[in-house]
Amino acid sequence: MRNAGLRVDFYPDLDNLGRQFRYAEERNIPFALLLGGNELAAGTVTVKDLVSGEQAPVTREQMRPTSCASDSNSALGNPFSTRARIGP
């Protein structure tokens, strides 16, 4: 993702999700990617919009940045934006 020009932060500790989301909120990070046991089994990543609270599973292949990457609302192909699209 960094190679694609996206700013990426990684939470440094093994804390609960609430603490990790607060960390992101303090840094004005708009989205979180969740990769747990369910996502690994399904071959997906969950994208969570930290402003609205919406979240949606996407395949790892769909996580490719789109041509809308300069739009802060679509840097990850935001599944919540009508202006962005995920995937090819």
How far, in Å, CA of 23 to CA of 64, rounded? 25
pLDDT, tens digit (0-9, with 9 covering 90-100), for 66-76: 644 444 444 44
Assess if residue 15 is contained within a domain: yes
pLDDT, tens digit (0-9, with 9 covering 90-100), for 48-61: 998 898 999 998 77
- Nearest-5° Cα angle at 73, 58 to 22: 80
- C-beta of residue 79 within 8 angstroms of C-beta of residue 87: no
The two three-digit tokens of residue 73, written as one number:
């609302």
Q: Domain limits at 40? A: 2-63
Quote the number of domains for the chain.
1
Assess if residue 85 is contained within a domain: no
Assess if residue 82 is contained within a domain: no
Look up the CATH number of the domain holding residue 48. 3.40.50.800
pLDDT band at 79, cuts 50/70/90? low
Sign of the Cα pseudo-torsion (45, 47, 31, 70, in order):
positive
Assess if residue 25 is contained within a domain: yes
pLDDT, tens digit (0-9, with 9 covering 90-100), for 3-51: 777 778 888 788 888 898 888 889 888 888 888 899 999 999 999 998 8
Assess if residue 41 is contained within a domain: yes
